Amino acid sequence: MLLDSNIIIYAAQPEYKALLGFIEKYAPAVSAISRVEVLGYHLLNERDRQHFEDFFAAATVLPISDSVLSKAIELRQRRKLSLGDSLIGATALLHELPLVTRNVTDFGWMACH
CATH of residue 59's domain is 3.40.50.1010
Residues 6+ apart with CB under 8 A from 5: 33, 34, 37, 38, 84, 88
* Within-domain flag for 112: no
Helices (H) and strands (E) in the chain, counts: 7, 4
Domain annotation covers residue 65? yes
Look up the domain containing 84 and give its range.
2-107
Cβ atoms of 51 and 41 within 8 Å: the answer is no
Give the SS3 label for residue 30: strand
Average pLDDT value for residue range 52-60: 95
- Rounded CA gap, 109 and 100, in Å? 14
* 62-87: average pLDDT: 95
CB neighbours (10 Å) of residue 11?
Answer: 20
**Which of 60, 42, 47, 41 has its CA nearest to residue 13?**
47
Structurally, how many domains does the chain consist of?
Answer: 1
Q: Is the pLDDT of residue 109 over 70?
A: no
113 inside domain: no
**Structure confidence at residue 111 (pLDDT):** 67
Q: What pLDDT, on a 0 to 100 scale, did the predictor assign at position 39?
A: 97
